[in-house]
Amino acid sequence: MTKNLICRNIQLSEYWGDGTLSSSDGQRFPTSGKIRNATSIVKYFGFGKGVTFYTHTSDQYSQYGSKVIASTERDATYVLDEILANETDLEILEHATDTHGYTDLLFAFFNLVNKKLISRLRDLKGQRLCKIKSSTNNEYNELAYPPLKFTGMVNIDYLKKNAHELQRVSASLQTGTVTASLLMNKLQAYPRQNNLGAPSQCMSCKPTDS
């Protein structure tokens, strides 16, 4: 935390960025002994075990968060944890990840906490892209879309109907009542049609800009 305060007060750091953009990525390291999060992945650790250090770095090249996670877990599960638990004076508004650092549900979580997720998606044509539909507002139905394959729909009316559930998620995340990683794991384990999971999944489908 002290490092970030010093970095923000150095005028040179402003040439790198204003401290509102950050990125995160994981690095895998082999371990020895009995480590709780250590897992076996032959590709990275041979016949041994290892862990992943998932680190968050601001556009001023200061690190404001790091977490040790199991290398078998998807990075995206832990992206939002360090951003919301950030105790530095950095006001992170946008965050960038690679393909391993995103899930559809993570897009919804970022939107609920009023932040922007910038993911470098590999094979965009293979991703689940959605159009917006509404039975009460034709303006959404008349939107123009790029020539890509759309396989889903974002139902605006359904989201409005379940807005109170999404507001509860937003409040819980921003107040620290629950971590994003824990809630994400719980929602992914629930049936798709439960009262909270269904609107979250609907909201998480990625519409593209026209």
Instruction: State pTM to two decimals.
Output: 0.79
pLDDT at 201 > cutoff 70: no
* Per-residue model confidence (pLDDT) at position 133: 79
* Per-residue model confidence (pLDDT) at position 156: 82
| Ramachandran category for residue 123: left, alpha or beta (phi over 0 → left; psi -120 to 50 → alpha) | left
Residue for token pair 């076996």: 40
Confidence of residue 202 (pLDDT cuts 50, 70, 90): low
| Alpha-carbon dihedral sign for residues 106, 108, 109, 114 | positive
* Per-residue model confidence (pLDDT) at position 194: 62
* Per-residue model confidence (pLDDT) at position 191: 62
pLDDT at 182 > cutoff 50: yes
DSSP 14: G
- Angle formed by the axes of helices 180-189 and 163-175, to 10°? 140
DSSP 83-135: HHT--SS----EEEE-GGG--HHHHHHHHHTT-EEEE--SSGGGS-EEEEE-S
Amino acid of residue 138: N
- Could you tell me which residues come within 8 angstroms of residue 13 by beta carbon, excluding any fewer than 6 positions away? 7, 19, 60, 61, 62
Higher pLDDT, 121 or 59: 59
* Per-residue model confidence (pLDDT) at position 192: 61
* Per-residue model confidence (pLDDT) at position 210: 42
